[in-house]
Amino acid sequence: MEESCGIILLAAGASSRLGTPKQTLLYQQSTLLEHSIQAALESVAEQVIVVLGAYAATVQPAVKEKKLSIIVNGSWQEGMASSIRFGLQYLLSMAPAARGALFMVCDQPYISAGLLNKLVTLQRQTGNAIVASQYAETTGIPAIFDKKLFPGLLQLKGDTGAKKLILQHQDDMATVPFPLGDIDIDTAADFKRLQEM
């Protein structure tokens, strides 16, 4: 049996600069979180795990989808690294033979199943340790990490996310263009711009 790939959707943050849970912002008839979940479920990934945190009590009841795992990171205040570790540990408990973990966030409104599938397919074709999205002259998430980088992901600390690993493994990385990937929602002004687009 082919080893599986799991998607870990990081949605535990407090949206402190926005002042309201970004997970629940409505855009094109669904919340940002629902849109991200739908893209993940429509992709080729075998497991979808949603990591909640700051607003878990508000957000969780609104997620009606049964085909995913919702977990709550009690250490979300540490920053994104804690959700990466928490989500990856859960994935490995569900699918110990997972060959890759694809990390995504809930505030990139232009994310799609097509993009996620391109990342998974390219990783399987190339065998690169990382296949990341390329936008605004940088590389970042959504990105898929091969199982050989799982130990490094499990050692991440603080609010740096996986950028540190991406920078360390540029010689073993492929990229997929995602020109709208730099549009994410951190402030009320970001959300207003998105609604006007």
User: Under CATH, which architecture does the 5-196 domain have?
Assistant: Alpha-Beta Complex (3.90)
The CA angle 49-31-139, to the nearest 5 degrees, is 60
The helix (H) or strand (E) run that includes residue 190 is helix 188-196
Per-residue pLDDT of the chain (197 residues; tens, 9 = 90+): 356 899 999 998 776 666 666 787 777 888 889 999 999 999 999 999 999 988 888 887 777 777 899 999 999 888 889 999 999 999 999 999 999 999 999 889 999 999 999 999 999 999 999 999 999 888 999 999 999 999 999 999 987 788 889 999 999 999 999 998 888 877 777 778 777 77
Q: Where are the domains of the chain?
A: 5-196
Q: pTM (2 decimals)?
A: 0.92
- pLDDT value, residue 162: 87
The DSSP result for 10-39, as a single string, is EE----TTTTS-GGG-EETTEEHHHHHHHH
Q: What is the CA radius of gyration of the chain?
A: 15
- pLDDT value, residue 15: 66
Tell me if 101 sits within 8 A of 88, measured CB to CB: yes
**Which two structure tokens, joined as six digits, stand for 185?**
């929602």
- pLDDT value, residue 1: 34
CA–CA distance, 58 with 38 (Å, rounded to integer): 19
